[in-house]
Structure 1
Amino acid sequence: MKYIIIFVLSISLSGCFSSKGLPVKSVPDSEPMDNPTMEENEVIKPKMVSNANLDHSAWNKLLKKHVQENGDVDYKGFKADKIALEDYVNYLSKQVPQQTWTVQEQLAYFINVYNANTIKLIIDNYPLKSIKDISSPWLKNRIKIGDEEFSLADIENGILRKMNEPRIHFAINCASASCPKLLNEAYTAKNVMDLMEKATVEFINNTDKNEIASSNIKISEIFKWYKNDFTENGTLIDYINQFSKTKINANTEINYKDYDWSLNDKN
């Protein structure tokens, strides 16, 4: 399998987002050619062994402690554990991705970067009713990786969306009621593919987030905002049908639910 190193220059989506030189790999979607043409910094062979040695156990402990099974978050509890959260965020900032990292290590790393920094953003401004009450929650640079600074939009649009893995949209959490739920387990290189699958299946079949019948659907606006990510290999209905317990007819009209941006706070 071949892995593409994507040096993202920019994409246009409410601004300009970039990986800022990080050696981000995409999930392979085809078998390698017998004699592939290699260009500098473009194609590398996958490595079975990596020197990343990433430790997400501190984040896992915080998630187990403060995130309910339904995805609601105890932000008061997180605020009480602010030092532990900041220690983990600082740890992530020092783990600069390398070309030797596997795709699984990078996916787990950037998903955790996004989710941990989103929680930090909320508790830094808590109490509040919505993440949208914060000035430029997604566009302001608040995340540090090595010597570079990133926004949440940089991580999502400039890195994760470039990794050829649409399931990331159900793994990252925007701290809102209509978002895919925050799992109470940290992503790791070992579990990232299974957890993304779990998150995708749970979100698509959640009747509060999506109303799905064979000939009538009203689905999350996530599928509208990021439609191109889900339709590279077929229609949007084709994508949803891979995970939906109820199969949708191909010619079904697509309608979207209003997005609820209220904070996913524990009741």
Structure 2
Amino acid sequence: MKQITLFILLVLVTACGSSKKVIESSKPTEKVEKDVVEKSEVEIIPEAPYETEEIIDIPDNYNPNQIIKPDSLGFHQDLTKHTFDSLDDFWTNFLQKNVSDNGNVNYESFRKDFKGLQYYIKFLQDSLPNNNASKEQKLAYWINAYNALTIDLILRNYPIKSIKDIDKPWDQRLWKFGEKWLNLNDIEHQILRKMDEPRIHFAIVCASFSCPKLQNKAFTASNLEAQLTEATKDFLADSDRNEISQNNLRLSKIFKWFAKDFKTDGSLIDFLNKYTEVEISSKAKKSFKDYNWDLND
């Protein structure tokens, strides 16, 4: 009888221990399920067309001449001999020689004036805005820099049919500003977009047909508001990039990729209505046009 009693007690103790293990092992499962629910509630923001990386330092022994040999391009002009009232005047003169009023870029002409472009980029690298610079000064500086560096990138790989023919075009850190080597992603996502000015998307140009047109004047702090407004209105009125009516929108994918940038002061419709002649309904149907990455020449 004692043996039977001991056996029953042993079974009960074993069962209790097993139950405890089952209960304990079930707790992580509950936590995992909770984590999954919480993660599913996070808003998914549309990705940009290219990845963003943190700005990093490049080793001192990095040699950009391994990528480009400008002396082999055969320039016919040296714009460093010209005199201009300011760096902005230099860039405006340079753009008007090589970019049409419609934003078409003559890369062959730019290629012949490559030394002038390098001269301008060198000046930019040596004149970073300091902490006392206004927001307008910083915006104008980095917009001009982005556009100049994009042209530089194209010329380093020219002739090409699309910027996407270049391996990771937005990730190549080819230009040193201060102590940092930057790429186009750094300037767009880590600098310009963090300045809370959505209209920069119509001022910086990725050398493609569906991008906004490249303005053939330098952006300046004193005229920045008018220039950004004009660039935005021009882009929205261009039926190749956007088709806008009261109840239907066929928009550039810029408005999809960077959707949150246009919602900082209301909805996307609110933003569009500030810069279009059409009064768009808040219930307008919205779709996005295919993006043409052909070179903007």
The TM tier, using the shorter chain, reads 0.7 to 0.9
Cα offsets for 1:233-255 (capped at 9, x unmatched): 11111111110111211011210
Structure with a larger share of its residues in helix: 2
SS in 1 for 2:256: helix
* Matching residue within 255, 275, 286 for 1:243: 275
| Counterpart residue number, 2:161 | 129
* Matching residue within 262, 267, 270 for 1:230: 262
Q: Distance in 1 between matches of 2:208 and 2:257?
A: 16
Moved over 6 A (4+): none
| Counterpart residue number, 2:122 | 90
Cα offsets for 1:56-93 (capped at 9, x unmatched): 22211110111001100000000000000000001101
SS in 2 for 1:202: helix
- Are 1:15 and 2:47 matched, yes or no? no
- Does structure 2 retain, via aligned residues, the 8 Å contact 1:220–1:257? yes
Q: Which amino acid aligns with 1:106?
A: K
SS in 2 for 1:174: coil
| Percentage of identical aligned residues | 44
Q: Distance in 1 between matches of 2:159 and 2:111?
A: 10
Cα offsets for 1:28-61 (capped at 9, x unmatched): xxxxxxxxxxxxxxxxxxxxxxxxx972222111
Q: Distance in 2 between matches of 1:236 and 1:19?
A: 34
Q: Distance in 2 between matches of 1:161 and 1:74?
A: 28
- Does structure 1 retain, via aligned residues, the 8 Å contact 2:55–2:181? no
- Are 1:155 and 2:192 matched, yes or no? no
Superposition pairs for residues 195-234 of structure 1, below 5 Å?
195-234=227-266
- Does structure 1 retain, via aligned residues, the 8 Å contact 2:174–2:183? yes
SS in 1 for 2:270: helix
State the Cα distance separating 1:115 from its structure 2 match: 0.2
The 3 A distance-change label for structure 1 pair 19 and 198 is farther
The 3 A distance-change label for structure 1 pair 154 and 100 is same
* TM-score calculated relative to the size of structure 2: 0.72
Structure with a larger share of its residues in strand: 1
State the Cα distance separating 1:139 from its structure 2 match: 1.1
* TM-score calculated relative to the size of structure 1: 0.80
- Does structure 1 retain, via aligned residues, the 8 Å contact 2:163–2:169? yes
| Counterpart residue number, 1:102 | 134
State the Cα distance separating 1:147 from its structure 2 match: 2.1
| Counterpart residue number, 2:289 | 257
Q: Distance in 2 between matches of 1:160 and 1:203?
A: 19
Q: Distance in 2 between matches of 1:19 and 1:108?
A: 24
Q: Distance in 1 between matches of 2:168 and 2:90?
A: 28
- Does structure 2 retain, via aligned residues, the 8 Å contact 1:177–1:264? yes
Q: Which amino acid aligns with 1:225?
A: W
CA RMSD between the two structures: 1.7
State the Cα distance separating 1:18 from its structure 2 match: 4.4
Superposition pairs for residues 158-169 of structure 1, below 5 Å?
158-169=190-201
- Are 1:190 and 2:222 matched, yes or no? yes
5+ residue gaps, structure 1: 1-11, 21-52
Aligned length: 222
Q: Distance in 2 between matches of 1:80 and 1:58?
A: 16
